[in-house]
Amino acid sequence: MPKVQAAVSYIAVSKIELPDNAAGRRAIARLAAIVDSSYDAIIGKDLNSIITDWNQAAEKLFGYTADEAIGQSVLILIPEGLHHEEAEIIDRVRRGERVASYETTRRRKDGTYLAVSLTISPIRDEEGKIIGASKIARDITLAKENERRIRMLMREVNHRVKNQFAVILSVVRETSRRAADPREFEEQIRDRIMALSRSHDLLVSSEWVGASLLDLLQEHLKPFGHDEQISLSGPLVTLQANAVQHLGMAFHELGTNSSKYGALATDVGRITINWQIVAAAEGGREFQVVWEESFSAPPGEDAEASERKGFGSVVLQRVTPQSLSGIAAVERSPGHVKWSLAAPVESTLVLPLNEHSEPSPEALPVSA
């Protein structure tokens, strides 16, 4: 019986001496049950690589029943390109060596491959002569897949961190060119890095899939207060990670400028932010967002005076639209500021599984 054979193999490997009586037979039966119920595949083979023992876990792992496996060469489990492993193993077993656990690939009955960890030991008879080998195989396919995912994740994290460093260095460089003094520089750098952090938090919470445009706006406008002066309206859309970061920077700059010079500098100004998805003139679909604010301009201020050049202008007119393969425009006049962006849907939004379906601005309105 395979169970008894497996137990005898186990006893031989363990060098357990059992009396040839009822107690010994019970011990063999008990060990047979242990071997057969093991979660690891336990296989015995002779020095010609012929399978002699096969437990239930081996059947589950490789797909062969004990009747199908016993008497067959163990090469049925080994991919052709790895047949040399068996010759090396048998050679070491003949010398009485215990083969340290190692990882390799084996083949199931259905032809699929799996990663396994193998431990191999010599089997000796009553006189101590080596007559075969005991092999314990453990399926590590899932562990290998997890390792692959971790490596891929680490590469992705490294890529994202480098991108963040590049953005931060750009912010530092551009801010230093325009800051009037070290104190102003420190304040602006702190605020801009905090804005990047808010966008990053939204991405982390979604496992970097993207973020809702509504959530992004609310997160970046929160520090400025005056919620009652702000109106948001548009379809429910999810922004891609790149769009989250760059639009987040744009909204921070717009909000900062508004809190100092525009609608949020007083209690009577008004900001409306609308977005929509429309058919592009050259075909395809286009994502459009418009930030517009109205406020009481100081007496004597003209359009030219209201246009304040700085890092914010660079973000709004160059950095954000270029990163999204789009175009942007800023219009300023006394008591009025308008920023508009148009970019391909493919470079800004997380597309639904059915790319031909699109959210309808009329069907999915959001306002705040």
Q: What is the distance, to the nearest Å, from the Cα of residue 344 to the centroid of all Cα atoms in its chain?
A: 25
Phi-psi sector, 70: left (phi>0), alpha (psi -120 to 50), beta: beta
Burial code (b: 16+ CB inside 10 Å, e: under 16) for 37-74 equals ebebbbbbbeeebebbbbbbbbbebbbbebeebbeeeb
Regarding whether 266 and 216 lie in a shared domain, the answer is yes
Report residue 112 as tokens.
């699929």
What CATH number corresponds to the domain at position 11? 3.30.450.20
Of 106, 139, 172, the last residue of a domain is 139
Structural contact between residues 288 and 278, judged by C-beta atoms closer than 8 angstroms: yes
State whether 59 and 198 are in the same domain.
no
What Å distances lie between residue 122 and 95, 119, 132, 283, 356, CA to CA?
9, 11, 6, 71, 63
**pLDDT tier at 153, thresholds 50, 70, 90:** confident
Per-residue model confidence (pLDDT) at position 327: 94
Tokens of 152: 């891929």
Mean pLDDT of all residues in 207-223: 89
What is the pLDDT, as a whole number, of residue 154?
78
Range of the domain at 224: 146-367
The answer to whether residues 288 and 344 belong to one domain is yes
Whether the per-residue pLDDT at 3 is higher than 70: the answer is no
Percent of residues, the chain, with pLDDT higher than 70: 78
Percent of the chain exceeding pLDDT 90 equals: 39
Q: What is the overall mean pLDDT for the chain? A: 81
Alpha-carbon Rg for the chain in angstroms: 35
Same domain? For 24 and 39 the reply is yes
Same structural domain for residues 131 and 160?
A: no
* Torsion-angle region of 179 (φ positive above 0: left; ψ -120 to 50: alpha; else: beta): beta
Q: What's the mean pLDDT in 146-164? A: 76
Same domain, 153 and 43: no
Q: Are residues 330 and 209 in the same domain?
A: yes
Contact in structure between 75 and 87 (CB atoms under 8 Å): no
Name the nearest CA neighbour of 308 among 229, 272, 251, 254: 254
- Supply 229's token pair: 């002066």
For residues 102 and 214, give the distance between their C-alpha atoms in angstroms, rounded to a whole number.
52
DSSP string, 7-66: HHHHHHHHT----SSHHHHHHHHHHHHHHHT-SSEEEEEETT-BEEEE-HHHHHHH---H
Residues 234 and 121 in one domain: no
Number of domains in the chain: 2
Instruction: Judge whether residue 164 has pLDDT over 80.
Output: no
- Domain edge (last residue) among 113, 139, 165: 139
Judge whether residue 141 has pLDDT over 70. yes
Same domain, 6 and 82: yes
pLDDT at res. 125? 83
Per-residue model confidence as pLDDT tens digits over 41-93: 999 999 999 999 999 899 999 999 999 999 999 999 999 999 999 999 999 88
| Range of 6-20, 29-43, 155-169, 280-294 with top mean pLDDT | 280-294
pLDDT top residue among 4 and 160: 160
b/e map of 110-127 (b: 16 or more CB within 10 Å)?
eeeebbbbbbbbbbbeee
Whether residues 175 and 307 share a domain: the answer is: yes
Cβ distance 106 to 136 under 8 Å? no
Identify whether residues 122 and 245 lie together within a single domain: no
Residue 25 binned pLDDT confidence (cut-offs 50, 70, 90) = low
- CATH code at 177? 3.30.565.10
pTM to 2 decimals?
0.58
pLDDT level of residue 202 (50, 70, 90 thresholds): confident
Say if residue 135 is in the same domain as residue 151. Answer: no
Whether the predicted pLDDT of 198 surpasses 50: yes
In this model, does residue 6 exceed pLDDT 70? no
Least confident of 147-151, 301-305, 314-318: 301-305
Q: Which residues contact 43 (CB under 8 A, 6 or more apart)?
A: 51, 53, 54, 55, 58, 69, 74, 134, 135, 136, 137
Report strand pairing: 130-139 vs 41-46: antiparallel
End position of a domain, from candidates 139, 156, 181: 139
